[in-house]
Structures are given as structure tokens and as C-alpha cells.
Structure 1
Amino acid sequence: MTDLVLSDRQDGILTLTLNRPELRNPISDADMVEAVLDALAPLNGDIGVRCVILTGAGPGFSSGGNINKMGEAGGLNAGLPAQTRRNYKDGIQRLPLAFEALEVPVIAAVNGAAIGAGCDLALMCDIRIAGQSAKFAESFVKLGIVPGDGGAWLLPRVVGFSKACEMALTGDLVDAEEALACGLVSKVVPDAGLMDAARALAAKIAANPPHAMRLTKKLLRQGWRSTLDAHLDVAAAMQALAHATRDHNEAIAAFKEKRKPDFTGE
């Protein structure tokens, strides 16, 4: 992992911080994509990581694309359309797939602006909380481009089709209170208390049995794109796995004995 993504792990909670504050943490450059992917890669195999918080260094969450590299044959645009397509497939489009495959819950702690691909990065996370100064924009259309990173798939699933169309077709900014009203975020807190609120929420998640928590996240994700009958089949199979864990038996015993459970990930 490079210093483009800072990592801090405490009590089963891993905080990842995008660390290019001088550019407000763009994520479209190849080195940043690789840094994020490298940070996520080991997490499914590490049962000790029970929740992830993703945030940005400095005054903004993420500016999305690096505006300094946009234009004719700049950044992801190779000039040759066939190569530009490959740049997206081999670059930024790997991020939503990586977040989709991740078993560990991810909380986006949105500080300041989350613009374009930065907004979509927040959408890739499972839970979003925002500081009061946070702003969101699905702003690709204002630059004469489209959401090439999966935003047009993610946004309607989070805020509904009508609001997603409004955001994507106008490109207008949405402040934190409007984001709360439309379900883009689940909580708005004072800027100074954002990371404390994110850690408190992460701690509540991390206190639960890790296998059951991971299976629950997978079921929620699977339900986005599944029919009910197919989802129920998967739920039954995952429930069989959960019933076989030591932590399930420990949860039942602790409940009956009126004590705090000791979950070990077994």
C-alpha cells in the first residue's frame, strides 16, 4: 500500500484515508485506483477486520476525476475510443467491482465535497454519513461526459430513479441536509464530530459476530440484483453457515445468561 491511502487499524476497525489533499483526493488516476485496490485486497481473508471507514484527507472527500488530466487525450481518455474503453475497464471500473465483492461493511465518512466519481465512490460504500459541510454532485454531464465508473447503476439504487435522474441530468450540488432527505446518507453530524460518529457506528457493527455480519452484508448486496425466490435460496444456505458457527451458540448462551457475549469469529 502506498501513502496515497493511509491506513489505521484499531479494535477491528480499519480507517482508510484517501491522501492526495492538494487535489482534493481524485480517484481516477491509475496510482490511486491501485492504492485503493491494494488496501481492500486482503480484507476478505482477515476476519479480524470487522468494519472499514473510508474518508478523505484535507477539506474534501474526493473530487472524483483529476481535472488537470481531462480534455483531449488526457487521463482515461486515450484519444482512440477502443483504448479509452480499456482504460476504464482496467482502471476506475475495477473499484465498484472490488467494493461489491468486499465482505466487510464499509462506512463512507464524507467530509466536504464528494463530486463526480467521488460521489460514486461514496455510493460504493455500504453506509454513508456526512459532515454538515459535505456536498455531493453526480456532475459528469457538466463536463460533457457520462458516469463511466458505475454511478448510473449505483445512484438509482440508493436515492431512487427520479432523484437519480435529477442529480445526473442537472449535475447540481446536493448539500448534506438534502442528501439526508433523499437517502443518499443516513446521518448528518457536525463536521468536527464526523470521525467520532463514524467510529461509534463502526464499533456497533464490529461488536457483532463477524461471520454473521459478513453474511448479512452479502445477503443485502445480493438482494439488490436478485428475484425473491433466488434470494431466499441464498439466505437459507447462508443461514445454515451461520447456525454452524461458535459465535451463534455464544450469542444464544450470552442472551440466556444475561451477560456480554464474547465473539471470536469461530
Structure 2
Amino acid sequence: MTTESLPALNDARLSIDERIATLTLDRHDVRNALTGTGLIEDIVTAAGWVNRCQEVSVLVITGAGSAFSAGGNVKDMAERGGDFAGDVAEVAERYRRGIQRIPLALEGVEVPIIAAVNGAAIGAGFDLANMADIRIASDRAKFGETFLNLGIIPGDGGAWYLQRLIGYQRAFELTLSGRVIDAEEARDYGIVLEVVEHDALMTRVGELAAGIAAQPPKATRLTKRLMKQGSRLELKDFLDLCATFQGMCHNEPEHLEAVNRMLEKMAR
């Protein structure tokens, strides 16, 4: 049992084990499309729960079935239905109240996020993977910023993430070409950290997550916050934040516990 009960989700599954929370997108019938399903709400709900539950040190996001996420529901686009119905103002408002809640929610997650990319991550599904701190890919994974192929733009914030991840020029080429790349090319570009055999994906992600989860939990959350702020603050402001966070860490029991463990190892 956790101090914060697991939330009820509609189209995803959430579990926790050894301080690792795993969110599995579970609409494999539509290749885990984010629109036209309950997955947007599920992701936002899970993000809020992770922040409240102090027993979580890592969040893993993966997909059930053959795809990580196919992004938007193309059938709804063709029919001008669902999230894509209405005039300019109506569509814009649905984006703000819908899929754009995902980057805002995940950007605010206090623990490290690992995307276990089990298959195709296309369009908004690619962007979802890029919202994680680390991406580990199955050798079956495919990635594509394919919005322009459909005559639309990355309306979920994907252009913001991709250029920060791999630089403007490469992000520009992938976005404007709309081409789909395999896991090896994604690793070469720095989109994913590692590529592993499909059947070994969750084992490898579990090992990585366990290593992070073994670190002092409060300092881990502060370090995640610090890393996020590092690209946004001027050096002087950043150092001020470092000083404050360090003062907090030095006054936490977990700091002395970690120091004592280190001293014990040194004495052996």
C-alpha cells in the first residue's frame, strides 16, 4: 500500500513497485492514440498522483501492444470530429483543454521520467516520448514528427521539446521532412539513450529505474527540479537556487544516512 492511493484510470494502467511507478498506455486497439481516448486525462491524472506520492522516485511510461503511441486519431481528423471539430477558435480551445495539458503536466513531474518506447512513437506519440527525461527504445521502435505530412503543425508542444533535445537544425529537418526513423538512427541523433532487443526493454528500463530509485528520494526530486531550471536561469540565479536546495538537503535525515553508508564502505 502507498500513502497516496492509486488513482482510477480509464485507458491506462498504473502500478508501483520498489519506488518505481509504471504508466502503461492501454489502448492498443487504436495503437494508443492520445486523442479520441481517455489517455490524455489518464496521463495528467498519473502525473499529479506521482507528485503527491512520496513513495515514488521514478515514473516509467510505456505502451501496451505494438505501439508506444500513434499520436492523434487520424480518422477523427478525416471526419473533422472529436478533438478536431469546429472552427479555428473551437479547435484551439480543445487543444488547450486537451492534448496541451500533457506537456504542462509532465513538465511539472518532480521525479525522473523514463520512456520505454516499445514500438511506434509517431506525431504526438513521438512528442510524448520526448517529454521524458530519458528514452530507452526497443529495436522495433520507430519515431516520426509527422504532423506536416497531414497538413498540420506539432500542436502539442513537440517543436519546443525536439529542438532542445537534438538542436534546431536536426529538429527542423525531421519536422519539415516528416520522415520516420528507426531506433538506431534515433540513438545516433541523441533522441534515445539506448536501443535494446524488444524482449529486454522492460528489464533494461527496470534496471535503470532501480538505480535511480535507490538514491535518496528527496534529493532526487530536488535534483530533477535543478536540472529543469538549469537551461532557463542565468548562472547567478541558478547558483542561488543551488545554494537553497543544498541547504535543504543538508538538513534532511537521508543526507546523514547516505554519508554514514559511504563512511562504512570506506572503512571496509
Secondary structure of 1:48 counterpart: coil
Contact 2:44/2:106, CA 8 A, preserved across alignment: no
Structure 2 counterpart of 1:191, which letter? H
Quote the residue 1:127 is aligned against.
Answer: 134
- Output the amino acid matched with 2:239: L
Match of 1:101 among 105, 108, 115: 108
Q: Which whole-Å deviations, capped at 9, do the CAs of 1:100-159 have from their partners, x for residues lacking one?
A: 111011100001100000000001111100001111000000000000000010000111
- 1:157 aligns to 2:185 (yes or no): no
Sequence identity (%): 47
1:35 counterpart residue number: 42
- CA deviation string 1:211-244 (max 9, x = no partner): 1111111111112322222222212111111111
Note the 1:190-229 alignment, pairs <5 A.
190-229=197-236
Q: TM-score, normalised by structure 2?
A: 0.93
Please give the alpha-carbon distance, in whole angstroms, between the structure 1 residues aligned to 2:213 and 2:27: 28
Q: What is the alpha-carbon root mean square deviation over aligned residues?
A: 1.3
Match of 1:139 among 130, 141, 146: 146
| Post-superposition offset of 1:30 | 5.9
Deviation at 1:72, TM superposition (A): 5.4
Partner of 1:263: none
Aligned-residue offset at 1:75 = 2.9
Question: What residue is the counterpart of 1:244 in the other structure?
Answer: 251
Q: Which consecutive residues of structure 1, in runs of 5 or more, have no partner in the other structure?
A: 260-266
2:95: which partner in 1? 88
Paired residue for 2:81?
74
TM-score (norm 1): 0.94
Note if 1:23 corresponds to 2:30: yes
| Structure 2: gaps (5+ residues) | 1-7
Q: 1:76 to 1:3 in 2, by over 3 A?
A: closer
- Residues 28 and 117 of structure 1 are in contact (CA less than 8 Å); yes or no, is this contact kept in structure 2? no
- Given that residues 11 and 37 in structure 2 are in contact (C-alpha distance below 8 angstroms), is that contact kept between their aligned partners in structure 1? no
SS of alignment partner, residue 69 of structure 2: coil
* Superposition deviation, residue 38 in structure 1: 1.4
After the TM superposition, which of the residue ranges 90-99 and 228-237 deviates more from structure 2?
228-237
Aligned partner of 1:180 in structure 2 is 187
Q: Determine the C-alpha separation between the residues in 1 that align with 2:37 and 2:61.
A: 19
Mean CA deviation greater in 154-163 or 29-38? 29-38
Question: What's 1:262 paired with?
Answer: none
Query: How far has the Cα of 1:27 moved from its partner?
Result: 1.0
What letter corresponds to residue 53 of structure 2 in structure 1? D
Contact 1:71 1:77 in 2 (8 A): no
Please tell me whether the aligned partners of residues 57 and 212 of structure 2 are also in contact (alpha carbons under 8 angstroms): yes
Runs of 4+ in 1 over 6 A off after TM superposition: none
In structure 1, what is the Cα distance between the partners aligned to 2:80 and 2:227? 40
Distance in 2 (CA, whole Å) between partners of 1:6 and 1:132 is: 24
Q: Deviations over 1:57-105 (max 9, x none)?
A: 0011000001121135323223211111110111100100101111011
Secondary structure class of the residue paired with 1:92: coil
Q: Give the partner amino acid of 2:226.
A: L
